[in-house]
């Protein structure tokens, strides 16, 4: 069983909600990414999302764009990210999802990249800019490899397309809580519960909610409607502030421990 499926099976058995943390791979360097990943695994994180740096991260707000830029500036490559996952796997079984722009997969070669991801120990891919309607070959390769194929649903996604997207998903469905790009917000969308209810009409997959969650209070509020909460920009912002600090992993771990406390409220 895929590590993501095992994770949600455990959470259901415990009556608990999951916490998914996003960090930019290679920010500030790949050694730090490994250290941060292992620290997050000890800080209450259930699933780790690694953002693969890309030159045109159009789905991302400024905080994550700058993280991608720092990753590229330090020489991070797709091979380097996969090698880092291999290093993480020597010490941890935390489920790992790569948050990636499809251009990188296409350039690498779909089948080659998916096979390399399995070999490295990746559990799922979230290809941000691949329309599900154009993903038949990708889906077949993912299914054959046993990787979770994770898709985004937005507040503006019409109901018939929700049905189509959920029919293709495995692992979990990622619901974007707000329109626009990634980034911290001061409040949670009022329509969240209604939209999650609509998605549940079409799938039994766990539903994770992200984009804009940045405080323990928001984590607790969002978790009441879904199966897992995703926090990215708030964590990446901590990395940006403390990237040169030798205590970076511990600082970020303390911050994330505070966020995961929202699941216990």
120 contacts: CB under 8 Å, gap ≥ 6: 82, 83, 85, 86, 89
Tokens, residue 68: 């991608």
- Rounded Cα distance between 136 and 202, Å, is 20
Q: Does the active-site annotation cover 49? A: yes
Q: Does the active-site annotation cover 60? A: yes
- Rounded Cα distance between 8 and 17, Å, is 9
19 contacts: CB under 8 Å, gap ≥ 6: 44, 45, 46, 47, 219, 228, 229, 231, 256, 259, 260, 263
Q: Among 5, 49, 123, 227, which one carries the catalytic annotation?
A: 49
Q: Among 5, 39, 60, 227, which one carries the catalytic annotation?
A: 60
- Rounded Cα distance between 239 and 241, Å, is 5
Under a CB-based contact definition with an 8 Å cutoff, are residues 23 and 84 in contact? no
> Which residues are part of the catalytic machinery?
49, 60
């Amino acid at each position: 069983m895929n590590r993501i499926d095992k994770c949600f099976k455990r959470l259901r058995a415990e009556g608990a909600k999951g916490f998914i943390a996003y960090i930019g791979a290679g920010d500030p360097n790949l050694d730090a990414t490994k250290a941060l990943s292992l620290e997050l695994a000890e800080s209450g994180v259930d699933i780790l999302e690694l953002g693969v740096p890309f030159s045109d991260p159009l789905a991302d707000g400024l905080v994550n764009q700058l993280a991608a830029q720092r990753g590229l500036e330090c020489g991070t490559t797709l091979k380097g990210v996969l090698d880092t996952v291999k290093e993480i796997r020597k010490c941890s079984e935390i489920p790992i999802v790569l948050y990636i722009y499809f251009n990188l997969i296409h350039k690498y070669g779909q089948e080659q990249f998916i096979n390399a991801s399995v070999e490295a120990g990746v559990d799922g891919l979230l290809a941000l800019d691949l329309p599900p309607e154009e993903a038949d070959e990708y889906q077949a390769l993912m299914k054959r490899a046993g990787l979770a194929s994770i898709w985004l649903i937005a507040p503006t996604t019409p109901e018939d397309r929700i049905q189509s997207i959920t029919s293709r998903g495995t692992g979990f469905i990622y619901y974007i809580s707000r329109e626009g790009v990634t980034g911290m917000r001061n409040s949670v969308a009022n329509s969240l519960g209604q939209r999650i209810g609509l998605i549940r009409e079409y799938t039994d997959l766990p539903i994770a909610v992200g984009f804009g969650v940045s405080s323990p209070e928001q984590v607790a509020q969002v978790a009441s409607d879904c199966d897992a909460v995703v926090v990215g920009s708030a964590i990446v912002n901590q990395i940006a502030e403390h990237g040169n600090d030798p205590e970076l992993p511990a600082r970020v771990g303390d911050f994330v421990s505070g966020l995961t406390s929202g699941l216990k409220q």
